[in-house]
Amino acid sequence: MSRLQEQLTADYLLSIARPDTAVILGTGLGVMEEAVTVERMIHYADIPGFPVSSVKSHAGRLLFGTLGGKRVVVMSGRFHLYEGYSPREVTFPIRVFAYMGIRKLFISNAAGGLRPDLTPGSAMLITDHINFTSQNPLTGPNIDELGPRFPDMTRPYSPALIAKARLFARENGIDLGEGVYVQVPGPSMETAAETRMLRLMGADAVGMSTVMEVIQAVHCGMEVLAISAVTNSNDPDNYLPAPIEQVIAMAEKAGPVITRIFEGVIKG
């Protein structure tokens, strides 16, 4: 996907709306759409150059409207490495958003909990991440107009937005966990041995998305806030299957909490 195509896609979307903030909805988190005052909806297949999501639980559409009184564009469905997309293709929307002038990105995902206190249906504020995919969306020629060749990843998740999320959760009696998220390539789920390894590495939740998007967003100079919907408990000593139906159901359970936090932080 060329830089010209990204700019053309950005120009096309800017002809529809001029949002300030972008939101990405993960597996089972389409419930968040209900909080958006939608002014325009467009399917990915109708957007020039845009990838198309092949995952059943991802609607595959952009919503333009307001959330928390601010203008937003919402990605209802994302793209994954396991679908066969390259890191550059997965992060195509992030670069498009950057060309649109968007500087804040809110990300949600479904993840397996690696700590006992991260129970199915709960939410975890991501404070840092581990890239366990062996891939990076910045590989190849750097796009100097978007960001530096070697972007700093000391604080990939905005300390200011994290502080606002913590404050909102505390003031509203929301039990919000925190931790380190690790992205694996997928689509196969983790084995018990892999789960032990990820825990030893310092990961608190595991999923198959987000990190590529965050790396690209940081490169583009965006502020990022990300929250995981914990969909299953990965206990290597009592390992149980996590069928996709359960993953979606638990993500839907956590959805209203994540929606409230995003809306509260966006509102400011």
Residue 119: strand pairing partners? none
Confidence (pLDDT) at 2: 84
The string of DSSP codes covering the chain is --HHHHHHHHHHHHTT---SEEEEE-TT-GGGGGGSEEEEEEEGGGSTT------TT---EEEEEEETTEEEEEEES---GGGT--HHHHTHHHHHHHHTT--EEEEEEEEEE-STTS-TT-EEEEEEEEE-SS--TT-SS--TTT--SS---SS-S-HHHHHHHHHHHHHTT--EEEEEEEE---SSPPPHHHHHHHHHHT-SEEESSSHHHHHHHHHTT-EEEEEEEEEEE--TTS-----HHHHHHHHHHHHHHHHHHHHHHHH-
Domains and CATH numbers, the chain: 3-267 (3.40.50.1580)
* Alpha carbon distance 88, 106 (integer Å): 19
Sign of CA dihedral 130, 180, 190, 54: negative
Confidence (pLDDT) at 238: 80
Residue 120: strand pairing partners? none
Global pTM value? 0.96
Average pLDDT along the chain, 268 residues, taken 10 residues at a time:
90 97 91 93 95 78 96 96 97 98 98 96 98 98 97 98 98 98 96 96 98 99 98 84 85 95 96
Write a three-state SS string for 186-231.
Answer: CCCCCCHHHHHHHHHHCCCEEECCCHHHHHHHHHCCCEEEEEEEEE
What the block records as the tokens of 168 is 């909102």
Residue whose token pair is 């670069």? 95
State the Rg of the chain over Cα: 17
